[in-house]
Amino acid sequence: MAVKVLVVDDSGFFRRRVSEILSADPQIQVVGTATNGREAIDQALALKPDVITMDYEMPLMDGITAVRNIMQRCPTPVLMFSSLTHEGARVTLDALDAGAVDYLPKNFEDISRNPEKVRQLLCEKVHTIARSNRRYASFLSAPAPASAPPSPAAAAAPRHAPAAPQAAAPQASTPKRKPYRLVAIGTSTGGPVALQRVLTQLPANFPAPLVLIQHMPAAFTKAFAERLDKLCRISVKEAEDGDLLRPGLALLAPGGKQMMVDGRGVVRILPGDERLNYKPCVDVTFGSAAKAYGDKVLAVVLTGMGADGREGARMLKQSGSQVWAQDEASCVIYGMPMAIAKAGLADAVYSLDDIGRHLGEACA
């Protein structure tokens, strides 16, 4: 059955091109278009699309306000188009907070120069987030990301009962405490909101250093790190070459590059290798952590498409480290955690809202 898509953009050219690209896929049907946020809401209610592509800057009502209204009235996976600027990153992160699932750079030059690449990426994104639809309502009904750091008491309290066990991986109610030298978290689609939800539960005196690997363009990671730093009690910054790991500090891998750690606690930022699909790549960081710290790493794989992190997790397991995976029910896209669970690499599977609490319990 074809994926039904509503295309929303105030630019007639972009609206037509997106519609043409999507319609060329026999498994996608463009059921309607809209030129502003108000039209988008009306069309979403009337047409009940499986996916909405959404621009931000539009007359009468902007994309973020439209997304927020759609999520309240008829929750539908939304793919945002955004500019590759610091302001574009801020706006995109606001849209993800409002309920959008994923985003794509809005680049007219790419459409002209690389039409086949644009077609492949756009159609792949639409198909992927359409498959998230079954879990989307439950994801949106979960507590919204914190707008301010919670109190220490609130952070320590469980927000939900533990999730039901999954056959593919063990379920631990309370993790064993251990003096981990590093916590490494990898994620992709759905990750910005998921990371925010996890990290806002950690106390300022969290005893271990953290490294974060989020699939994200180079123009976005600095803005994302700044956002997390404002919301969390721990410190968060975009990693730079030579940064030192220290307790209570989370270093976010810069977009377009690779992040590695060494046994002295020094972070190395390397150019993005064109042979790798992901820049940054979870496997690269996890693999370096396994080599540097042996059994003293706690790795967590959150929501995301694909299988990045699986081979790095395998290396960590071989070194004696612990690996956790997010459960299917709380994932936007159950790809990366599923790869961990299916490979038998997960020591525990937790719901998103339990992971932050369990990190506090596990790190001595």
Q: What does R_g of the chain's alpha carbons equal in angstroms?
A: 20
- Give how far the C-alpha of residue 274 lies from the chain's centroid of Cα atoms, to the nearest Å: 22
HEC profile of 178-207: ECCCEEEEEECCCHHHHHHHHHCCCCCCCC
Q: Which of the 8 DSSP states describes residue 329?
A: G
Residue carrying structure tokens 């039209």 = 39
Catalytic residue among 82, 132, 188, 330: 188
Catalytic residue among 25, 97, 132, 215: 215
Active site residue 188: yes
Write the CB contacts of 209 (distance below 8 Å, at least 6 apart in sequence).
181, 182, 183, 245, 246, 247, 248, 249, 250, 251, 265
Catalytic residue among 97, 283, 308, 327: 308
CA distance 363 to 162: 19
The two tokens of residue 153 are 């008491």
19: alpha, beta or left? (left if phi > 0; alpha if psi -120 to 50):
alpha
CA distance 14 to 31: 16
Which one, of 332, 267, 274, lies nearest residue 305 by Cα? Answer: 332
Residue carrying structure tokens 């699932």 = 101
Write the CB contacts of 106 (distance below 8 Å, at least 6 apart in sequence).
14, 55, 81, 82, 83
CA distance 237 to 324: 23
Active site residue 25: no
CB 302 within 8 Å of CB 152: no
Helices (H) and strands (E) in the chain, counts: 14, 14
Active site residue 83: no
Enzyme catalytic residues: 188, 215, 308
